[in-house]
Amino acid sequence: MATPTGAKTGGKSKPMPKKQLQHFEKRLLEERKRVLKELGHHEDMMTQTSQDSDGDLSSYSFHMADQGTDAMEREKAFLFASQEGRFLWHIDQALRRIYQAPEMYGKCQSCGEDIDYDRLDALPHARLCFACKQREEDGKKSA
C-alpha cells in the first residue's frame, strides 16, 4: 500500500502531491488563526489589572491572598502565551517549508524519509518522522 505522501521509486521519494500540500497549508493556516486568537486572549488576561478583574474601585487590595491569586493568574497566562508562541513559531516554520521548498515539506529533517501521512495529519507542523522524534525525545531524557 502506497503512502499518501508519495511512494518510493528507485531510492528517491516523489514530492507530495499539490492537493495534499494545499490540504496541509489550509490546516496550518487554520491552526495559526486559532493560536493568534488564543495569544490575544492571553494578552488580555496579562494586561488586565486587579481592579478590572474583581470590580474593586480602590487601587489597594484588601487581602494579600487576593494579590497572590492575581499574580498567579498573570503568571499562568504568561506561561500559556509562551507555549502558544512556540507553537506559532513551529506553524510558521512549516508554512515556510510549504511556500519556499514544497518538495521538502513532509520530509524528515533528520533522515530525509517521508513523514507518515497520519503523523502529518495529526501534526501538520511536524518536522521529524516518528522514529527520529522518538530518538530526539530519548536523547532529552538521558541528558
Residue 14, pLDDT score: 75
| Domain ranges, residue 74 | 15-50+64-142
Question: The domain that contains 118 carries what CATH number?
Answer: 1.20.120.910
Number of domains in the chain: 1
Q: Using DSSP, state whether 107 is helix, strand or coil.
A: strand
Do the Cβ atoms of 124 and 94 come closer than 8 Å? yes
Higher-pLDDT residue of 28 and 57 is 28
One-letter amino acid of 138: D
Q: Using DSSP, state whether 136 is helix, strand or coil.
A: helix
The answer, as to whether pTM is greater than 0.85, is no
Answer yes or no: is pLDDT of 85 > 90: no
- CA-to-CA distance for 120 and 52, rounded, in angstroms? 42
Residue-wise pLDDT for 96-111, tens only, equals: 999 999 999 999 999 9
Question: Which residue's C-alpha cell is 533528520?
Answer: 110
Tell me, yes or no, whether 81 lies in a domain: yes
- CA-to-CA distance for 56 and 58, rounded, in angstroms? 6
Residue 127, pLDDT score: 94
Tell me, yes or no, whether 99 lies in a domain: yes
